[in-house]
């Protein structure tokens, strides 16, 4: 029943009982001929298996997004992006990936990602989760095999759809012609974000990325933050190479360490763990903490870190 599922914690593994991986028959698909690079990219993504996580996550704070790839006219791979409706209470007008929070009826994270998106598209892979401000988000990568597909938008949530070359998330070179008035604005930019770590002593440094879409004049915002980070990782797995810019800050924590610390220190996650009776010993183990006393910090310090992050973002 839905009420019993609502409090069931999530172990972030590749749960494919609902939508099993099936062999992708590219020869029968209604798509342009793939380049060799695109074919290798799809093969790498289809063979990828995310390492098993040590963490147990609170279901009420989990979400999934769909990274929907398709083949362009010249055989290159593109990803579908959406512009969030300007009437939404949070992140209005931002560029994002389709998806949402886990519902009690969802059987898997893939089910969550597909709920309001493309139902009949083959699964390529599921990545390890990423940390957002108040959610833990898992990217689900799929391939659209029918280029005649015309999505129906939910206008209350999505203002428009557009695409961007997947390989362009590994480079600083824009995939579109530069307008004279935009020469001074680089296609890719990044900045470092600082946050206190365990024990209130170790400071975490994370790098946040931004990519222009070439549609800024029409009101489309750049690909930024969480969405940019997920797409860099998808492109990294697919094309099998590192980006030509600094991806992570030196000595940056792993994403699993960041999630573990969020479960222990951020009220929104910690309270969800208490409600759902999530055992946090695994989170402390990931961070090398012996007991609960090692992680205690004041709520005011946590809020100070989060507010500092918001102020930095607002200056971009």
DSSP state of 238: H
Residue 206: C-alpha distances to residues 62, 195, 226 (Å):
21, 8, 12
Summarize the confidence of residues 233-250 as an average pLDDT. Answer: 96
Summarize the confidence of residues 185-210 as an average pLDDT. Answer: 84
Residue 312 has what pLDDT?
44
Residue 200 has what pLDDT?
61
pLDDT band with cut points at 50, 70 and 90 for residue 83: confident
Question: Bridge partners of 162?
Answer: 81
pLDDT digits (tens, 9 = 90+) for 3-55: 444 455 554 443 333 344 556 666 666 677 899 999 999 999 999 999 998 89
Residue 311 has what pLDDT?
45
Determine what percent of the chain is predicted with pLDDT higher than 70: 70
pLDDT digits (tens, 9 = 90+) for 255-272: 999 999 999 999 999 999
Cα gap 284→33, rounded to integer Å: 49
Exposure of 13 by Cβ count < 10 A (0-12 exposed, 13-18 middle, 19+ buried)? Answer: middle
3-state SS class at 131: strand
234 has a pLDDT exceeding 70: yes
pLDDT digits (tens, 9 = 90+) for 145-197: 876 666 666 666 665 778 999 999 999 999 987 655 555 789 999 999 888 78
Beta strands in 97-217 (DSSP E): 99-101, 123-126, 130-131, 136-143, 158-165, 188-196, 203-211
Characterize 184-201 residue by residue with b for buried, 16 or more Cβ atoms within 10 angstroms of its Cβ, and e for exposed. Answer: eeebbbbeebebbbbeee
Residue 313 has what pLDDT?
43
CA dihedral 9→11→15→17, nearest 10 degrees, is -40
Residue 95 has what pLDDT?
82
Task: Calculate the CA 139 to chain-centre distance.
Answer: 5
Task: Calculate the CA 93 to chain-centre distance.
Answer: 17
Summarize the confidence of residues 266-293 as an average pLDDT. Answer: 89
- Lowest model confidence (mean pLDDT) among 62-66, 152-156, 226-230, 286-290: 152-156
Residue 2 has what pLDDT?
43
Summarize the confidence of residues 103-130 as an average pLDDT. Answer: 77
Cα gap 259→266, rounded to integer Å: 10
């Amino acid at each position: 029943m839905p009420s019993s599922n609502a409090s069931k914690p999530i172990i972030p593994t590749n749960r494919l009982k609902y939508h099993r991986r099936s062999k992708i028959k590219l020869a029968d698909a209604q798509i342009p001929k793939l380049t060799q690079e695109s074919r290798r990219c799809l093969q790498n993504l289809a063979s990828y298996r995310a390492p098993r996580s040590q963490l147990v996550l609170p279901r009420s704070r989990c979400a999934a997004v769909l990274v929907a790839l398709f083949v362009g006219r010249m055989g290159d791979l593109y990803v579908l992006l959406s512009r969030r409706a300007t009437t939404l209470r949070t992140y209005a007008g931002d560029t994002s990936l389709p998806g949402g929070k886990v519902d009690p009826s969802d059987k898997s994270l893939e089910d969550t990602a597909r709920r309001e998106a493309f139902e009949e598209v083959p699964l390529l892979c599921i990545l390890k989760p990423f940390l957002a401000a108040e959610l833990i988000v898992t990217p689900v990568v799929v391939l659209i095999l029918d280029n005649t597909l015309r999505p129906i938008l939910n206008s209350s949530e999505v203002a428009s759809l557009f695409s961007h070359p997947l390989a362009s998330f590994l480079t600083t070179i824009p995939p579109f012609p530069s307008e004279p008035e935009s020469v001074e604005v680089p296609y890719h930019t990044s900045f470092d974000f600082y946050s206190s770590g365990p024990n209130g002593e170790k400071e975490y440094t994370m790098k946040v990325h931004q990519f222009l879409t070439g549609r800024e004049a029409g009101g489309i915002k750049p690909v930024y933050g969480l969405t940019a980070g997920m797409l860099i990782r998808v492109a990294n797995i697919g094309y099998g190479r590192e980006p030509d810019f600094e991806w992570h800050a030196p000595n940056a924590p792993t994403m699993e360490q960041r999630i573990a610390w969020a479960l222990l220190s951020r009220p929104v996650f910690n309270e969800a763990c208490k409600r759902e009776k999530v055992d946090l010993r695994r989170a402390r183990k990931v961070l090398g903490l012996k007991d609960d006393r090692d992680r205690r910090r004041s709520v005011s310090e946590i809020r100070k870190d989060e507010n500092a992050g918001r102020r930095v973002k607002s200056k971009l």
